[in-house]
Amino acid sequence: MQEPTLMVLTALADAPRHGYAIAQEVKAMTGGRVVLRTGALYGALDRLLADGLIDVEREEVVDGRARRIFTLSPSGRERLAVEAERLAATAREATRRLSVTRPSADAT
């Protein structure tokens, strides 16, 4: 799973959000490292909707403009949990390997 997709799903894991709020949440979660541009964000949201990983919870009109509020679907929640476990396993293995004392090149 690509990082922007992972970040969008993560941003929706605890609360429904509209597009701008998702972008702001991703920026906050990553300390500004990931900034979702409008086109990329809405392209990702369209793909996630088509894949059934998110749903439109409701639509509302704010200042005369339509706003869709997105929520994580049950299959999206499951997919995010699987991805989180995969990343955690990778991080555990990386940490384990970093902690292994390796003989220096001079010792041979």
Q: Which pLDDT band, with edges at 50, 70 and 90, does 63 fall under?
A: confident
User: Does residue 25 form part of some domain?
Assistant: yes
User: Does residue 88 form part of some domain?
Assistant: yes
Q: Are strands 17-18 and 54-62 parallel, antiparallel or unpaired?
A: unpaired
Whether the per-residue pLDDT at 96 is higher than 70: the answer is yes
When the pLDDT of each residue in the chain is averaged and rounded to a whole number, the result is: 92
**Which range marks the domain in which residue 49 is found?**
3-97
Domain count, the chain: 1
Per-residue pLDDT, 105: 60
User: Does residue 7 form part of some domain?
Assistant: yes
User: Does residue 106 form part of some domain?
Assistant: no
- Cα–Cα distance for residue pair 73/2, rounded to 1 Å: 18
User: Does residue 108 form part of some domain?
Assistant: no
pLDDT per residue as tens digits for the range 35-50: 999 999 999 999 999 9
**pTM of this structure:** 0.84
User: Does residue 69 form part of some domain?
Assistant: yes
User: Does residue 22 form part of some domain?
Assistant: yes
Strand extents, DSSP E, the chain: 17-18, 54-62, 65-72
CATH number of the domain enclosing 55? 1.10.10.10
User: Does residue 104 form part of some domain?
Assistant: no
